[in-house]
Structure 1
Amino acid sequence: MTHGVSFAALPDGRRSTSRVGRQVVADALRGVDPVGARAAEQETAWRSGYLLHFRRLVEAGLATPDAWLAIAGAGLDSVHRNLVVAGDESDDRPLDSLLEAGGTRGLRTAEVTGEGQRQEELVVPYRGRRLHGAGLRDQLLEWARRGVLEPSVVDAVSEVAAHPERLRLDGHTVAVLGAGAEMGPLAPLLGWGATVAAVDLPRPAVWERVLRAGRAGAGRLLVPVAEGAGDPRDDVGRAAGADLLAEVPEVADWLAGLDGRLVVGNYLYADGATHVRVSVAADVLGARVSRARPETALAFLATPTDVFVVPRDAVEQSTRAYVDRSGTAKLVGRPLRWASRGRLLHRAYPPAADPGIADSLVPVQGPNYALAKRVQRWRAAVARGDGRAVSLHVAPSTRTRSVVKNRALAAAFAGAHRFGVEIFEPETSNILMAALLVHDLTADVPPHEHPWQDEAHAAVHGGLWRAAYEPRSALGLAAVLGYGSARG
């Protein structure tokens, strides 16, 4: 039975994700691009046709910062109208009722103090090495040279490495939604001595991992446990956790009562439509906590498999890579493009594009994944526009369990290096992205002229923005070439 944050029910009781997806995209576009809005509304094959409309959301906002923010604001408004709080027997309530609703149970805090030695230096594990100091900077520069990440990453991470005292995030309490996620910053932050409030489902197996990280670290791990559950010190893992889909008020009130400057970080992931639901639940949670604690900062990781605006120098590097590709690549590419009617191995950008549009949407991930991640980008843009502190960075494609269980993606990851794209291991990604979070919370990061530049700043896209080929035109071949390795 559906419970908590969910899609609105149709008269026949169905909760159609495609209907909501079409409606949200159309509503987002309507004020800026009415033709695009109508096209989204009339899309009859949403599960395959959504790619064009999600690209249009970015293209339509490129004209002016106001257009970008208008799309983001209208999209969020539509999300809040088209999702609901589902009750028994289709007794749905408006989503925004969660902003004022009382909880059905209280949560109190169990604290776990780390027993490990604090990591006093930024160290990034990479291919069997532990990079720090000059070695870390050399690798950052090498990644930038190869187009694996944006040059602004080098400066941001180097600044954190030069000021390791910032790693503790003194005075902050970072709420990690999805504390058990592989891409989350839980373990790095605790290792650096930070205070982390962990939020995840009440599943003992999840909390066993989270508590293990808390004890191994050198920080403070704050855990929500049910009031009246007995002494949580007896067995924290069995008393811990909350279901954010159904318990936004409970989690929000718990977070609002914690000490320190709050940072609400969304690192949640779920399969299919549930990903949209948890992303929206986190959005409402962030809004409710921000009302109670106006100084609250927001944090997100953007997926590289989306549509982004990229700077001119990324277009230039991609163009050079296309022009300078090997003779074999040119020889093989021509018949492939002809046989596929231009769908395979075509260049990523028009040579004169300034800025460019990096379209890295992956059809196999589907429209629900795209919508869940776009909600986060919209919230980041609107919050920045309102003057709120926000940390959002594109994180690299990473071999997490949730990704490589998809055989097609696992094969494409295994063959991606042949097309200039680097796939990261989780232990590298989460420390690198945690360091960028620390930078955003402790350094003076001025806003950019246009919101797309905020998204492009310090992006770790793995090479998708600067490789020779448009990613979707190479994805199938990467999967074919990587199939054997993925099976192994």
Structure 2
Amino acid sequence: MAQGQEERSSSAFGRGVVSDALASVDEPGALAVRRDTGWRRGYPRHFRRLVEVGARDHQAAMAIARDGLSAVHERMCWLPVTGGHDRRVAEAFATPSPQPALESVTVRGDGDPEREFTLPYKGDRLSGANLRRRLDDWVESGVIEPGVRDAVGQVLDHPEWLDVRDRTFVVLGAGAEMGPLRSLLRWGGHVVAIDLARPGIWSPLFDLARSGAGSLTAPVGPAGVDASDPSQHAGADLLHDTGRIGDYLMGVEGPMVLGNYVYADGGVNLRLSAATDALAVHLSQRPDVALAYLATPTDVFVAPDDAVSQANSGLDSAFLKSVRRPLRALSGGRLLQRQYPPIVDGPAISDTIVPQQGPNYLLAKRIHRWRATAAAADGQLVSMNIAPPTRTKSVTKNRALAAAYAGAHRFGVEVFDPSTANTLMAAMLVHDLRTGGYAAKGDVWAAEAAGAAHGGLWRSPYDPRSALGIAAVLGIGGAR
């Protein structure tokens, strides 16, 4: 486990985890990680390497996932509130807390549950044939992969799937814009919500529950059980109450779906990802626990052959085609690079990393992908889909990213509003729970592609990173 200030840095942690993940299948790649002294600038090529090595070899991909997870749990430390020495994160669940056990408060809605899937989109609410046409249009324009259309189509074909009362949904990061909480409450589900103890988070969540058709349960201390305003007492901190939350959730009636939607800035996000992964491992001792994740679209993936074909065939009619050559010359070849070579030898890689988001963000999200891969291979029910680029507050508070998102449509990339994205992903979650989940979709890369609502990033003629700066310039006036 980490000792000393240098080894406690998030950069040292990230380098160590990525190096360990590669070590058994790509020693030269692992050595390159260890020698990289400019981690915050150079990390994208190493995260790409993690996918490249596993793209041709399923066993290598599995080894990377399992070794990466082992490294996270070996290198991340937990320190009890009572002090003492560093311990493994898993020990948080075996160490008694000096604080009283968490109790529950539940708010129930009195609405009628929705039994037809509808999708909010640009001020309208799409359903039935209109929704199917929108899904077809998205596939034709390359915004989503065909598997997403087919999955949502099955949800439309089976409205009874929206009766989600047969499971308890634990939503980590209950206030997150991308989570399924709102949809689950509309469909009559029981949600156990976990988020920080901040009234500003809980008051709107309880209002949603009252106006919905389901029920929302939140952890509270003993003083909050009979409080007139539960929002003043609800919440628990996944970083500092890890063990208490584990004990609390162990007592929740199942079957349970543990959904991970947490986010924080910088190194805190990485710590949260490690803590929530330890929680997933702890709760998975129960045989009735399914796991749910959303992957970021700004990562590295193996693209299907037809995505490569669509991207390459679109190069001749792509935006800025007439000035592509001089722009590339002026930029030393950095701008408007083609995304895929004309002839692809082996698996094609779509590298959509946005360097401004940083290595902590990407490793936190990669941990989710690794856990989904490993848990599904071990026979656990897992839902893991790739969410579309979305105008969430966490993204748009970065001015450069907000501007790039505002200009992305010029390059065929559709950026979603949060209500559209989280509802679409909630439908994908329901589909996965009813049809066998991640493991039923094929190997690692086929499973990821089947659930990819990447917004058009995989099928763009241009390498997304080489167009990011131009998109930002064009989007400055439209950023919000």
TM-score, scaled relative to structure 1: 0.94
Instruction: Report the secondary structure of 2:350's partner residue.
Output: strand
Distance (Å, rounded) in 2 between the aligned partners of 1:184 and 1:126: 17
Distance (Å, rounded) in 2 between the aligned partners of 1:225 and 1:92: 28
Residue matched to 1:186: 181
Q: Deviations over 1:283-321 (max 9, x none)?
A: 011111111x12210000000000011110010011111
Residue matched to 1:362: 354
CA root-mean-square deviation: 1.6
On the 8 A contact 2:55/2:347 being kept in 1, the answer is no
Give the AA of the match of 1:249. G
Q: CA deviation at 1:167?
A: 1.1
- Following superposition of structure 1 onto structure 2, how do residues 34-183 of structure 1 map, counting pairs within 5 Å? 34-87=27-80, 91-104=85-98, 105-183=100-178
Match of 2:365 among 346, 359, 373: 373
> 1:18 and 2:14 equivalent?
no
> 1:422 and 2:404 equivalent?
no
Match of 2:322 among 311, 314, 331: 331
Give the AA of the match of 1:317. Q
- Name whichever of 78-87 and 50-59 sits farther off: 78-87
Residue matched to 2:336: 345
Residue matched to 2:311: 318
Instruction: Report the secondary structure of 2:105's partner residue.
Output: strand
> 1:239 and 2:230 equivalent?
no
Distance (Å, rounded) in 1 between the aligned partners of 2:329 and 2:288: 56
Residue matched to 2:385: 393
On the 8 A contact 1:51/1:361 being kept in 2, the answer is yes
- Name whichever of 262-271 and 441-450 sits farther off: 441-450
- Name whichever of 336-345 and 300-309 sits farther off: 336-345
Instruction: Report the secondary structure of 2:223's partner residue.
Output: coil
Change (3 A) 1:58 1:74: same
Change (3 A) 1:260 1:87: closer
Q: Deviations over 1:410-440 (max 9, x none)?
A: 0000000000100000010010000000001
Structure 2 unmatched runs, 5+ = none
Q: Deviations over 1:136-163 (max 9, x none)?
A: 0000000000000001111100111121
Instruction: Report the secondary structure of 2:479's partner residue.
Output: helix
Residue matched to 2:197: 202
> 1:469 and 2:462 equivalent?
yes
> 1:251 and 2:242 equivalent?
no
Residue matched to 1:4: none
Distance (Å, rounded) in 1 between the aligned partners of 2:60 and 2:180: 33
Give the AA of the match of 1:147. G
- Following superposition of structure 1 onto structure 2, how do residues 263-274 of structure 1 map, counting pairs within 5 Å? 263-274=257-268
Residue matched to 2:425: 433
Q: Deviations over 1:76-100 (max 9, x none)?
A: 1111111111356773222221243
Give the AA of the match of 1:36. G
Give the AA of the match of 1:72. A
Distance (Å, rounded) in 2 between the aligned partners of 1:457 and 1:100: 38
Q: CA deviation at 1:10?
A: 4.1
Q: CA deviation at 1:168?
A: 2.3
On the 8 A contact 2:109/2:209 being kept in 1, the answer is yes
Give the AA of the match of 2:171. V
On the 8 A contact 2:391/2:418 being kept in 1, the answer is yes
Q: CA deviation at 1:166?
A: 1.2
- Name whichever of 240-249 and 230-239 sits farther off: 230-239
Match of 1:405 among 386, 389, 397: 397
On the 8 A contact 1:113/1:220 being kept in 2, the answer is yes
Distance (Å, rounded) in 1 between the aligned partners of 2:367 and 2:84: 25
On the 8 A contact 1:98/1:284 being kept in 2, the answer is no
> 1:479 and 2:466 equivalent?
no
Q: Deviations over 1:184-220 (max 9, x none)?
A: 1101100111111100011111111211111111011
Distance (Å, rounded) in 2 between the aligned partners of 1:196 and 1:11: 41
- Name whichever of 362-371 and 450-459 sits farther off: 450-459
Instruction: Report the secondary structure of 1:110's partner residue.
Output: strand
Q: CA deviation at 1:257?
A: 1.2
Q: CA deviation at 1:9?
A: 5.4
Residue matched to 1:300: 293
Distance (Å, rounded) in 1 between the aligned partners of 2:467 and 2:399: 17
On the 8 A contact 1:232/1:239 being kept in 2, the answer is no
Instruction: Report the secondary structure of 2:452's partner residue.
Output: coil
Give the AA of the match of 2:408. A
Distance (Å, rounded) in 2 between the aligned partners of 1:135 and 1:37: 50
Distance (Å, rounded) in 1 between the aligned partners of 2:219 and 2:25: 43
Q: CA deviation at 1:455?
A: 1.4
Q: CA deviation at 1:449?
A: 4.3
Instruction: Report the secondary structure of 2:37's partner residue.
Output: coil
Residue matched to 1:3: none
Instruction: Report the secondary structure of 1:447's partner residue.
Output: helix
Q: Deviations over 1:101-142 (max 9, x none)?
A: 334431122111112232221110101111000000000000
Give the AA of the match of 1:417. H
Instruction: Report the secondary structure of 1:297's partner residue.
Output: strand
Q: After TM superposition, where is structure 1 displaced by more than 4 Å over at least 4 residues in a row?
A: 87-90
Q: Deviations over 1:380-422 (max 9, x none)?
A: 0000110101000000111111110100000000000000100
Give the AA of the match of 2:25. V
Identity across aligned pairs (percent)? Answer: 51
Q: CA deviation at 1:67?
A: 0.6
Distance (Å, rounded) in 2 between the aligned partners of 1:448 and 1:213: 34
Q: CA deviation at 1:359?
A: 0.2
Distance (Å, rounded) in 1 between the aligned partners of 2:224 and 2:419: 36
Q: CA deviation at 1:233?
A: 4.6
TM-score, scaled relative to structure 2: 0.96
Residue matched to 1:289: 283
Instruction: Report the secondary structure of 1:229's partner residue.
Output: helix
